[in-house]
């Protein structure tokens, strides 16, 4: 079987979003599926060239360069701000020390969020729509000349689904839509209600047009299956961990002060917010909880949204929070393995107070959880106590679960970290989440979809 995999996020891009497509491309060949990738190429996105070493020589990657208009505008602004203005230095000196100090104006979060929401509402189907249009002739030429059997896309961004659907219809091939995240019902969705109604209608049409649908959580599989009512096969193929990433020796030095390290690896993207964690941590520090010092180690590209909150916490509790910029994936795994405990935020911040959002968040199953389980340290999971992620942690790992909107419950869970670590269940199912095994499941599903499609074509 020959597969065209459409994935905008793909190495040398970095971050968690590339892992699923990368691992499928790496291991599908072991199950008789030859993979060609149609990928994005965005120099403004996080880069991790070390991931390229994981690609087999048999995987051909066609990259289409695209930078969003917003990122180009920000780059232009940065470049312009670096240019010296004639006479500005002399004028500043003449005006005295007060005027010489640079004036910084920070847009209010509400104003900035409103602008971003308006911007997103005008992008179709999202800000990567320009990439999908640029990639269309490349993908069409590949399908015309390559003898492919099937097209699969993995989103977000949902532009990949728009592109793959169009390519598959043009070539009369089955299309499989892999949903790593929800679209219009995503807790981080920020466009106005009129746009949400349009996107929901488009999503329903796309689901009906797909020859197969893949979901990453059991709840989302049930959600998609109920909407399709048996019209289209839906598989649950979760994210996972790659055993090859854990082949090296355990590394990571213990802190010189013997502190207990609670480590979060990754970004606080979308509505995720570290504020409840910081408040709970402050409560623990105020009562001197534990016989060891506590350090919160944030590893990854957090961005600048939370600079003010982190700076305020640092002023009250110097040296407790350690910020480590984005690191290559191998180093991120080393950070996980060296932790005393791992922190995972599952939900959607204050938005979980809305019933419809809480229902969606309950079905969220971050890919990071599987690497956390394989790493070994216990996990402090903040999210819906009855959600898919909490249930999976209880079934296959060890740790503590607290509602992310309840700082008192989080503080209580943090206090429990200094006591006996919960025993891991006697469970042999964790290897089911190994990336190669999951690629085998996907290969079987792709063959089933192809056979169903062929039967309909000849029926």
Count the neighbouring beta carbons within 10 Å of the beta carbon of residue 263.
26
Among 63-72, 320-329, 414-423, the range scoring the smallest mean pLDDT is: 63-72
Residue 304: strand, helix, or coil = coil
pLDDT in the model for residue 73? 58
Query: Edge-to-edge strands of the sheet including 212-215?
Result: 60-65, 34-41, 2-7, 150-155, 175-179, 212-215, 234-236
CATH assignment at residue 144: 3.40.50.2000
Question: Is 83's pLDDT higher than 70?
Answer: no
State whether 218 and 141 are in the same domain: yes
Q: What pLDDT band is residue 158 in, cutting at 50, 70 and 90?
A: very high
Mean predicted confidence (pLDDT) in 420-442: 88
Backbone angles phi, psi at 16, to 5 degrees: -65, -30
Q: What pLDDT band is residue 107 in, cutting at 50, 70 and 90?
A: very low
| Higher-confidence position of 118 and 415 | 415
Between CA 34 and CA 267 the distance in angstroms is: 33
Question: Is 256's pLDDT higher than 70?
Answer: no
Mean predicted confidence (pLDDT) in 232-247: 95
CB of 181 within 8 A of CB of 154? no
Q: Please spell the DSSP secondary structure of 61-111, one letter per residue.
A: EEEEE---HHHHHHHHHHHHHHSPPTTHHHHHHHH-HHHHSPP--PPPHHH
In the block, residue with structure tokens 């999202």: 126
CA-based angle 286:289:293, to the nearest 5?
95
Q: Is residue 90 part of a domain?
A: no
Nearest in space to 232 (alpha carbons), one of 216, 214, 215, 210: 210
Nearest in space to 223 (alpha carbons), one of 210, 211, 236, 212: 236
Token duo for residue 57: 């020589």
Token duo for residue 372: 């956390």
Backbone angles phi, psi at 388, to 5 degrees: -60, -45
Mean predicted confidence (pLDDT) in 82-108: 39
pLDDT in the model for residue 252? 55
Backbone angles phi, psi at 77, to 5 degrees: -65, -40
Q: Is residue 254 part of a domain?
A: yes
Q: Is residue 142 part of a domain?
A: yes
State whether 303 and 160 are in the same domain: no
Strand partners, 236: 215
Q: Which helix (H) or strand (E) element contains residue 116?
A: helix 109-121
CB of 170 within 8 A of CB of 140? yes
Q: Please spell the DSSP secondary structure of 328-370, one letter per residue.
A: -HHHHHHHHHH-SEEEEE-S-GGGGGSHHHHHHHHT---THHH
pLDDT in the model for residue 72? 61
State whether 9 and 153 are in the same domain: yes
Q: Each residue of 132-150: pLDDT tens digit? A: 999 999 999 999 988 999 9
Strand partners, 399: 379
Question: Is 177's pLDDT higher than 50?
Answer: yes
Average pLDDT of the chain to the nearest whole number: 86
C-alpha distances out from residue 376 to 240, 246, 397, Å: 14, 11, 9
Q: Is residue 102 part of a domain?
A: no
Range of the domain at 15: 2-68+126-240+435-458
pLDDT in the model for residue 438? 97
Domain tally, the chain: 2
CB of 293 within 8 A of CB of 284? no
> Model's pTM, two decimal places?
0.85
Token duo for residue 175: 């299309």
Mean predicted confidence (pLDDT) in 296-314: 91
State whether 447 and 304 are in the same domain: no
Q: Is residue 97 part of a domain?
A: no
State whether 232 and 252 are in the same domain: no
Question: Is 104's pLDDT higher than 60?
Answer: no
Q: What pLDDT band is residue 395 in, cutting at 50, 70 and 90?
A: very high
Between CA 451 and CA 98 the distance in angstroms is: 74
What DSSP designation does 292 have? S
pLDDT in the model for residue 109? 57
| Higher-confidence position of 437 and 430 | 437
pLDDT in the model for residue 94? 34
Q: Is residue 76 part of a domain?
A: no
Q: What pLDDT band is residue 123 in, cutting at 50, 70 and 90?
A: confident
Mean predicted confidence (pLDDT) in 233-246: 96
State whether 361 and 235 are in the same domain: no
Q: Is residue 345 part of a domain?
A: yes
State whether 181 and 296 are in the same domain: no
Q: Residue 28 contacts by C-beta under 8 Å, 6 or more apart in sequence?
A: 3, 35, 439, 442, 443
pLDDT in the model for residue 271? 74
Q: Each residue of 180-203: pLDDT tens digit? A: 999 998 887 878 889 999 999 999
pLDDT in the model for residue 35? 98
State whether 188 and 302 are in the same domain: no
State whether 394 and 446 are in the same domain: no
State whether 220 and 304 are in the same domain: no
Q: Is residue 392 part of a domain?
A: yes
Q: What pLDDT band is residue 113 in, cutting at 50, 70 and 90?
A: low
Between CA 377 and CA 362 the distance in angstroms is: 24
State whether 295 and 355 are in the same domain: yes
CB of 129 within 8 A of CB of 157? no
Burial of 288 from C-beta contacts in 10 A (0-12 / 13-18 / 19+): exposed
CA-based angle 375:303:5, to the nearest 5?
65
Mean predicted confidence (pLDDT) in 404-412: 91
Q: What pLDDT band is residue 423 in, cutting at 50, 70 and 90?
A: confident
State whether 56 and 179 are in the same domain: yes
Cis peptide, bond prior to residue 275, ω within 30 of zero? no
């Amino acid at each position: 079987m020959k597969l065209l995999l459409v994935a905008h996020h793909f190495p040398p891009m970095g971050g968690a979003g590339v892992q699923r497509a990368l691992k499928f491309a790496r291991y599908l060949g072991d199950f008789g599926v030859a993979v060609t990738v149609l990928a994005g190429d965005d120099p403004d996105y996080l880069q991790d060239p070390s991931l390229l070493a994981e690609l087999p020589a048999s995987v051909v990657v066609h990259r289409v360069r695209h930078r969003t208009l917003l990122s180009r505008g920000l780059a232009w602004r940065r470049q312009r701000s670096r240019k010296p203005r004639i006479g500005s230095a002399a004028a500043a000196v003449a005006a005295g020390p007060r005027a010489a100090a640079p004036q910084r104006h920070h847009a209010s979060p509400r104003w900035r969020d409103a602008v971003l929401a308006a911007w997103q509402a005008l992008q179709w189907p999202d800000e990567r729509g320009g990439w999908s249009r640029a990639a269309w002739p490349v993908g069409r030429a590949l399908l015309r000349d390559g003898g492919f059997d099937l097209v699969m896309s993995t989103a977000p961004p949902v532009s990949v689904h728009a592109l793959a659907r169009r390519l598959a219809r043009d070539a009369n091939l089955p299309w499989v839509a892999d949903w790593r995240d929800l679209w219009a019902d995503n807790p981080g969705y920020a466009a106005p209600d009129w746009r949400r109604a349009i996107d929901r209608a488009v999503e329903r049409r796309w689901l009906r047009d797909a020859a197969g649908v893949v979901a990453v959580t059991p709840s989302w599989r049930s959600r998609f299956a109920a909407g399709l009512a048996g019209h289209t096969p839906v598989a649950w193929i979760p994210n996972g961990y790659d055993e090859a990433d854990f082949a090296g020796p355990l590394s990571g030095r213990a802190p010189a002060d013997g502190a207990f390290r609670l480590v979060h690896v990754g970004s606080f993207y979308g509505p995720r917010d570290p504020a409840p964690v910081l408040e709970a941590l402050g409560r623990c520090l105020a009562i001197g909880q534990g016989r060891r010092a506590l350090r919160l180690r944030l590893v990854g590209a957090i961005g600048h949204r939370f600079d003010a909150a982190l700076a305020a916490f640092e002023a009250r509790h110097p040296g407790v929070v350690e910020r480590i910029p984005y690191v290559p994936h191998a180093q991120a795994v080393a950070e996980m393995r060296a932790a005393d405990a791992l922190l995972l935020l599952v939900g959607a911040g204050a938005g979980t107070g809305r019933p419809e959002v809480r229902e969606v968040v309950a079905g969220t199953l971050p890919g990071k959880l599987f690497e956390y389980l394989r790493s070994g340290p216990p996990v402090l999971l903040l999210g819906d106590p009855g959600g898919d992620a909490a249930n999976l942690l209880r079934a296959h790992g060890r740790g503590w679960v607290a509602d992310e909107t309840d700082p008192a419950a989080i503080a209580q869970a943090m206090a429990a970290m200094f006591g006996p670590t919960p025993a891991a269940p006697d469970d042999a199912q964790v290897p089911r989440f190994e990336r190669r095994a999951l690629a085998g499941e996907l290969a079987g599903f792709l063959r089933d979809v192809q056979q169903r499609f062929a039967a309909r074509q000849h029926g």
